[in-house]
Structure 1
C-alpha cells in the first residue's frame, strides 16, 4: 500500500501502519466491536492533557461485552487499557474540531477494523500496541491537538530519497519517519543506548549522532543535516 504524505496520514496509516508490502490473504476475522463501543459513546472527555494515562483501570469500553481476542487482550493488559482510554479521549477532542465529522467516524471505524485484524499478526500484542499509538498520534496531528515539532532532515548513504523525522514527546512518545514518498508512525522502543523507535517492518535507531534505519527492508545510515 502506498503511504500518503503527512497531511494525508489518516487514510493510510490507521488502516495499514504505512507498510508498503501487500496485505495478507483475506481470512475470516473474529467478531468486532461496533465503533460506538470504543470511541463515540465513551464518557465525556477530560480536558486535553499531555500526561500519560494512569494504569490499573479498565479500557473505555465495557469488558463484559468485549468481542474478539483483541478487546479481550486490551481488557487484561493495563498498558493497552490505558492507551484505549487515551485514544477515546483524543477521539472526542477530535470530534469537537473535525470539519468533516462523517469522515472522522469512518476513519475511526477503519481504525477499529485495523486493530481487530491484528489477530493475523505473529505478535498480536505488539500489533495492537502499535495500532493504538498510531491512532492517537494521527488524530492529534490531523485535528491540531498537538503542536508539531520541527522536522529533522537527514543525509544518508543512499541519497536517492528524502529522509526526515518529526519526534513527538507527549505520551505515547512516537516519531513520524519519512523516507521518500512513504511515511510511518513509530512508537518509542526500549534501547540500551541512544533513541530507538520501532514498528512492524520499520526501525529507527539514533546513537552518537548517527541514525540506523531499516524501512521495510531498505537499510540506511544517516546523520542529521546541518
Structure 2
C-alpha cells in the first residue's frame, strides 16, 4: 500500500489504520484526524475545523497517534484502536458542555499526554519505587512524564494506572478515575482502587 493511500486513511477513523501502513507512514505533523475536506459527522468536528487552535491540536494528535501505532504494531494495536474509538466518543460528548471549546481542547491535550506517556514517546523520570505501609511486598512503582498536562504511570502488581496532575494546596497530586497519589514532604498517600483504604508510602528500594 503506497504512502498516499495510507495518508487518506488518517482521518477521524485513524483508529483503523491498515497494518500495511504502520511502517510506511511518516509522522504526519500536518495531517489531521478530522478530514475537514469531507462532510463532518458531528458539531464537534465542525468546531475543530473552524478553530485554528483546535485544528493544530488535532494535527498534533495525528502525529502522536502515528508514533504510538508504530510502537504498537504487535500485541498492543487492538488496545490502541479500542482506546481511540472510546476517546472519539468522549471528545464528541463535549457538545453537551456549556464550555464546549474548553472541553474539546482539554480532551485533546489529555489524549496527547496519555499516548505520550503510555507509549513512552517522551522520556520518563523513574521508575521510583514506593514502599507502602512498611511492607516490602507492598510497593508501587511510579514513572513521571513531563507531558502537558503532566502525567504519571503507576504499577502495583499486574495492574497499572495513568494519572493526571491535579491542583493541590500543598505537595503534588495526581489522579485517575479510581486511583490517586498525593506526595508531600517526601511521603506519598496512594489510593489504589475505588473505596480502598489509603496506603502510606515512602520512596525506597
Shorter-chain TM-score bucket reads 0.5 to 0.7
Q: Distance in 2 between matches of 1:74 and 1:192?
A: 34
**Structure 1 residue 190 corresponds to structure 2 residue 167:** yes
Q: 1:75-115, CA deviations, whole angstroms, 9 ceiling, x for partnerless residues?
A: 799987665433311122345x44737964x4442122221
Q: Residue 12 of structure 2 is aligned with which of 28, 37, 49? A: 37
Which residue does 1:169 correspond to in 2?
146
1:211 Cα deviation (Å)? 0.9
TM-score (norm 1): 0.57
**In the comparison of the two structures, how many residue pairs are matched?**
173
- Larger mean CA deviation between 154-163 and 61-70 belongs to 61-70
Contact 1:158/1:220, CA 8 A, preserved across alignment: no
Shift of 1:178: 1.3
**Number of the residue aligned with 1:212:** 189
1:89 partnered with 2:68: no
Distance 1:190 1:214 in 2: 17
Q: Which runs of 5+ in 1 are unaligned?
A: 1-33, 48-58
Q: Which residue of 2 aligns with 1:224?
A: 203
| Residue in 2 that maps onto 1:61 | 34
Preserved contact between residue 154 and residue 222 of structure 1 (Cα < 8 Å) = yes
Task: Tell me if structure 2 keeps the 8 A contact 1:87–1:136.
Answer: no
**Counting strand residues as a fraction of each chain, which structure ranks higher?**
2
Q: Is the 8 A contact 1:70 1:115 kept in 2?
A: no
- CA distance in structure 2 between the partners assigned to 1:76 and 1:193 by the alignment: 40
CA contact (8 A) 1:166 1:175 kept: yes
Partner of 1:156: 132
Computed over aligned residues only, the root mean square deviation of the Cα atoms, in angstroms, reads: 4.1
Residues 221, 69 of structure 1: alpha-carbon distance in 2 compared, 3 angstrom cutoff: farther
* Contact kept in structure 1, 2:10 and 2:62, CA below 8 Å: no
Partner of 1:138: 118
Equivalent-residue separation in structure 1 for 2:50 and 2:111 (angstroms) = 17
Match of 1:17 in 2: none
3-state SS of paired residue (2:126) = coil
* 1:142-188, Cα deviation, whole Å (9 max, x unpaired): xxx33343211111117353211000114342100112221111122
Partners of 1:35 and 1:112 within 8 A in 2: no
Distance 1:38 1:134 in 2: 19
